[in-house]
Structure 1
Amino acid sequence: MRFERFIALRYLLTWGNHAFISVISWVSVLGVALGVAALIVVLGVMNGFSNELRDKILGVNAHIVVTSLEGVIRDYDRLNEQARSVSGVVGAMPFVYSEVMLSTSMGVKGVVLRGIDPAAAHGVITLSRDLIMGDVQDLIDDPAGRGIFIGSELAGRLGLRVGSEVNLLSPAGQRSAAGFAPSVEAFVVRGVFRTGMYEYDSSLAYVTIPAAQSILGFRGDLVTGLEVRLRDVDAAPRVAQELERTLGGFPLQVRTWMEMNQNLFAALKLEKAAMFVILVMIVLVGSFSIITTLVMLVMEKTRDIAIMASMGAGPRRIARIFIFLGTIIGALGTSLGFAIGLLLCFLLQRYQFIQLPMDVYYLDHLPVQLQWTDMTIIALAAMGMCFLATLYPARQASRLQPAEALRYE
C-alpha cells in the first residue's frame, strides 16, 4: 500500500509541465469545498432556526395543554395537583385564554389575553426572563388586581409604558336579557416583555386569572385549561398519555406542543431535507470534476502506467494509485469545506451581521446550531461521492496493456 500512496502523492504534488491538469484538480478541490461549506452553513442555519423557533414557542407556551371539550374547566385546583404528580412534569398552572380589544388614546388593537397565576408562572413559562420592564411581583402586588403585562411591539405601537392606563373590551363579557353585552374594564400596565418573536410581542397580554375571569364574564371559578411543563420536551407524547389516564380522560383533552405546531415543524423538516438534496448537487459537480481530472491524468500518464505494469505492478495496484489520488483530492476539498463552513457559522453566531425584519420572520437574526450527526452525514456523503468518482478512471488505468501503451513511445 505504501507504493500506491507514494505514486499518488507524487502525481498530486509534482505536476511538471501539466499545469492545466493541476488547475482542474484544484478546481475540483474548490468545487467539493464550496459544496461542503454550503451544506454546513445552510443546515446549521436550518437547525438553529428550528430550535430557536421551538424554544421561543415553548417559552411562551407550555409543553402540554389540557383543555375541556365543554369549553371551561371547573375543578381545576384538583386537576392541577394531579398533573404535578405525574412523572416527568416539573410545573403546571391553570390559565384563561381569550381574544379581546385593547384601546388607548393612541389607537385600538386586538390582543390575545392570557390569565395566569403569576406565582406559578416561572415554573411553566419564561415570562419572568422575558420582562424588560417591571417584575412578576408587580402583577401579584397590584392593589386593584388590574395590572397587565404587554409585549414590547404592542407597547411601542400604542406608546405605552409602565404606569400607562389601557381599556380592555370583551365582546361577550356580560350576559343580559338581550344576550351578551360587551364588557369594558380599565387596566394599568405593570410590565413590558420581549420574547423575540414579533407575533407574540405585538399581540399578547397577561393579566391575573381573577381579572381575566371578570372581564370575560365567567360565572364561577372557571379556567380555560391547564398548562404543563416537562423536564424533557421530547417526552411529551409519553407524558401526555400518562396525564390523560391520571386526569380521567373525557371531556378533558390533552395536547402536546408537537401536535399544536405539527404543520410548522413538519414544513421546516421538509425544507431542511430539500435543501440538503439541492446542495448535495454542488458536491456532486465537484466530484465530476475529479473524474475529469483523473481521466486526463490517465491519458497523460499512459507511458508511466505501462512502465509500472511491465515492472510487475498489477491492475489492482495501478487502480489503487488513482483511487488514492481522487480520494486525497476529495479529502482536501472536504477539509477545506469544513474549515470555511465552520468559520462562517462562527461568524454568523458571534456577530449576527445578517439581520431579518421581525415583522416578516419569527426572528431578528440568523441563528446557527451545528449538530454532529449532520456533520458526519455531510463528511460521509462528500467522501462517498468523491470515492465513487475515482472508480471509472482507476478502472480505465488498470486495463491499459503495456505493449499497446508503449507501441508508439
Structure 2
Amino acid sequence: MTFELFVALRNLLSRRKHAFISFISFISVAGVALGVATLIVVFGIMNGLSDDLKKRILGVNAHVLVLSMSQTVNDYEDVVNRLNGVEGVTAAVPFIYSEVMVSGLAGVKGAVLRGVEPESLAEVLALEEAAAGGAAARTREAFDGLKGNGLPGVMIGWELAKTLQAEPGDRLYLMGQWSGGTGLDTGSFAPRVRIFELAGTFRTGLYDYDSSVAYIGLEQAARLLGYPPDRVTGIEVRVDDVYNADVIAQRVSRELGPPYYTRNWMELNTDLFATLKLEKAGMMLVLIVIILLAAFSIVTTLVLLVMEKGRDIAVLMALGARRNSIGRIFVYQGALIGVIGTVIGFAVGVSLALLLKRYQFVQLPEGVYTSDTIPVLLDWLDLTIVGLAPLVFCFLATLYPARKASALDPSERLRGR
C-alpha cells in the first residue's frame, strides 16, 4: 500500500474529531450508491419493456414485407421461390391484406383482414409467443380452425371479440369490397358479404392489433375480395437476423427488381422505438444528476477536509512529502468514495433487478400495458456505462480540492496562519 493511499484511508475511516465531515462523506457514498442502483434498475426495466415490445410486434408482423407498385403480387409462387434463395431469408409466405367490416350480434366494427396460409404462417410470424397469458394454446387451435368445418374459420383479436361480444363458435359476417374477380379493376368494386365461424381469439397485448385484426385462410380471402388464384397483396418474409433486416431487405429488392419493393419492421415502427430511446435518454439524464450531486458533495467534503487538515498537511510537507503526493491523497480519498458508492450501488441495483425479474412481485393492471408484469433485461453495455460514469465524475470532483491542498504554504500553516 502506498503512502498516499494509506493516509487517504486514515482520513476516510478514522475521523472521530470531524463528525460533520464524516457525515458529508457518508452522504456522498449514499448519493453515488443510490444513483448507480437507480440507473441499473431503470435501465433494466426500459430495456425489458423495449425487448418485450419488439417481441410482440415481431409476433404479429413479418421481418420484411415484399409489396408491388401494381397493388398485387402476380404469380406469387415464383416470387416465393426466388425469395427463398436470397441469403438471410429463412421463410416466405403470401398474404392478402384488406379492410373489411365485421358484424356480430353486438354490432359492426371495421377491421384489418389478413388472409394467410395457416399451415405456413408459423414460419414467418410468432403469434403464439406474442400471445399473453393462456392465449397461446387458443391461438394454435384457432389457426387449425381457419380451414373451418362447414363454415370457413376466422380468428380475431380478443379486444375485437369483446366489442362484438362474440365467442368461439359464433357466426360473424365479413363484408369486403369484391373486385369482380380481377383484383385490380377499381371500377368494378362492389361490397360482398360472407359468413364465417369464429375459430378463436388471440391476445398480443398491443391494443391496435387486438382490437382491429382478423385472420382468415388465404383461399377464403381471395374469394371474399375477388383475387385471382395466382395473386396476393404481398409476401411476408422472415430473416435469420432481425436487427439486420434492412440489409436483407435491400438484397431482396435487388433480387426481385421493379415493380417490387420492400418494407422492414424497423421502418414500420421507427417512431415507436425512437420514442422509447428518447424516454431512456431523458431518464438517464435525470438520474445522472443524482450522481453529479453526489460528486459535488465530494468536492464539499474534500474542501472542508483541506481546511481542517491544513496543519497536518504542513507537517507532512515538512517531513518531506511532495506536493504531488499531497494532491494524490485527496484524489485517492475522493476516488475511494466513488468506488465504495459504485460497488454498493452496483450490488444493490443488480440484486433488485434480478429479484424483480425472477419473482415479478410488481403487478401491472391487466389490459392497460403490453405486459401484466414488469419485464427486466440487464444489458452489459449499460452496466459498464453505469459502472464507469460515477468513477469518472468522482475523479473529476477531486481535482480542485487536491490542487488546493498541494498549493498550501507549509510555513504559514505551521505558524498558525
Structure 2 residue 178 is the aligned partner of structure 1 residue 173: yes
Q: CA offsets per residue over residues 185-223 of structure 1, 9 Å max, x none? A: 111122222223222222211111111112222244321
Q: Secondary structure of 1:366's partner?
A: coil
Q: Which amino acid aligns with 1:346?
A: L
Structure 2 residue 69 is the aligned partner of structure 1 residue 42: no
Question: For residues 364 and 224 of structure 1, what CA distance do their matches in structure 2 show?
Answer: 35
Residue 307 of structure 1 contacts residue 402 of structure 1 at CA under 8 Å; is this kept in 2? Answer: yes
Q: Which amino acid aligns with 1:30?
A: A
Q: TM (normalized to structure 2)?
A: 0.92
Question: For residues 143 and 373 of structure 2, what CA distance do their matches in structure 1 show?
Answer: 32
Question: For residues 384 and 324 of structure 2, what CA distance do their matches in structure 1 show?
Answer: 30
Gaps of 5+ in 1: none
Q: Secondary structure of 2:74's partner?
A: coil
1:235 counterpart (227, 244, 253): 244
Q: CA offsets per residue over residues 307-344 of structure 1, 9 Å max, x none? A: 11111110111111111110010111111221222233
**Alpha-carbon offset, residue 279 of structure 1:** 1.8
Q: Which residue in the other structure is 2:402 paired with?
A: 394
Structure 2 residue 152 is the aligned partner of structure 1 residue 146: yes
Question: For residues 162 and 359 of structure 1, what CA distance do their matches in structure 2 show?
Answer: 20
- Cα RMSD of the aligned pairs, angstroms, is 2.2
The range that moved more, 132-141 or 197-206, is 132-141
Q: Which residue in the other structure is 1:205 paired with?
A: 214
Q: Which residue in the other structure is 1:302 paired with?
A: 310
**Alpha-carbon offset, residue 29 of structure 1:** 0.8
Q: Which amino acid aligns with 1:38?
A: T
Q: Which residue in the other structure is 1:223 paired with?
A: 232
Question: For residues 269 and 20 of structure 1, what CA distance do their matches in structure 2 show?
Answer: 42
Residue 198 of structure 1 contacts residue 363 of structure 1 at CA under 8 Å; is this kept in 2? Answer: no
**Alpha-carbon offset, residue 272 of structure 1:** 2.0
**Alpha-carbon offset, residue 302 of structure 1:** 1.2
Q: Which residue in the other structure is 2:11 paired with?
A: 11
**Alpha-carbon offset, residue 251 of structure 1:** 1.1
Residue 338 of structure 2 contacts residue 394 of structure 2 at CA under 8 Å; is this kept in 1? Answer: yes
Task: Specify whether residues 323 and 406 from structure 1 end up closer, same or farther in structure 2 by C-alpha distance, changes over 3 A only.
Answer: same
Question: For residues 195 and 140 of structure 1, what CA distance do their matches in structure 2 show?
Answer: 19
Map of 1:334-349 to 2, 5 A cutoff?
334-349=342-357
Q: Secondary structure of 2:416's partner?
A: coil
Task: Specify whether residues 56 and 275 from structure 1 end up closer, same or farther in structure 2 by C-alpha distance, changes over 3 A only.
Answer: same
Residue 151 of structure 2 contacts residue 197 of structure 2 at CA under 8 Å; is this kept in 1? Answer: no
Q: Percent identity?
A: 50
Q: Secondary structure of 1:312's partner?
A: coil
Residue 132 of structure 1 contacts residue 192 of structure 1 at CA under 8 Å; is this kept in 2? Answer: no
Q: Secondary structure of 1:17's partner?
A: coil
Structure 2 residue 390 is the aligned partner of structure 1 residue 385: no
Residue 69 of structure 2 contacts residue 261 of structure 2 at CA under 8 Å; is this kept in 1? Answer: yes
**Alpha-carbon offset, residue 21 of structure 1:** 0.7
Aligned pair count? 407
1:251 counterpart (248, 255, 259): 259
Task: Specify whether residues 219 and 88 from structure 1 end up closer, same or farther in structure 2 by C-alpha distance, changes over 3 A only.
Answer: closer
Q: Which residue in the other structure is 1:324 paired with?
A: 332
**Alpha-carbon offset, residue 356 of structure 1:** 4.3
Q: CA offsets per residue over residues 158-211 of structure 1, 9 Å max, x none? A: 3333212111122x2255999533211111122222223222222211111111
Residue 326 of structure 2 contacts residue 402 of structure 2 at CA under 8 Å; is this kept in 1? Answer: yes
Q: Secondary structure of 1:115's partner?
A: strand
**Alpha-carbon offset, residue 354 of structure 1:** 4.0
**Alpha-carbon offset, residue 370 of structure 1:** 1.2
Q: Which amino acid aligns with 1:192?
A: T
Q: Which amino acid aligns with 1:269?
A: K
2:271 counterpart (263, 276, 279): 263
**Alpha-carbon offset, residue 353 of structure 1:** 4.1
Task: Specify whether residues 206 and 137 from structure 1 end up closer, same or farther in structure 2 by C-alpha distance, changes over 3 A only.
Answer: closer
Question: For residues 354 and 108 of structure 1, what CA distance do their matches in structure 2 show?
Answer: 38
Gaps of 5+ in 2: none
Question: For residues 137 and 151 of structure 1, what CA distance do their matches in structure 2 show?
Answer: 13
Q: TM (normalized to structure 1)?
A: 0.93
Q: Which residue in the other structure is 1:71 paired with?
A: 71
Residue 32 of structure 2 contacts residue 390 of structure 2 at CA under 8 Å; is this kept in 1? Answer: yes
Q: Which residue in the other structure is 1:121 paired with?
A: 121
Question: For residues 11 and 372 of structure 2, what CA distance do their matches in structure 1 show?
Answer: 50
Q: Which amino acid aligns with 2:115?
A: G
Residue 139 of structure 1 contacts residue 207 of structure 1 at CA under 8 Å; is this kept in 2? Answer: no
The range that moved more, 55-64 or 275-284, is 275-284
Q: CA offsets per residue over residues 229-258 of structure 1, 9 Å max, x none? A: 0111122122112111222x2111111111
The range that moved more, 281-290 or 44-53, is 44-53
Question: For residues 367 and 189 of structure 2, what CA distance do their matches in structure 1 show?
Answer: 35
1:156 counterpart (152, 162, 167): 162
Question: For residues 341 and 196 of structure 2, what CA distance do their matches in structure 1 show?
Answer: 63
The range that moved more, 354-363 or 87-96, is 354-363
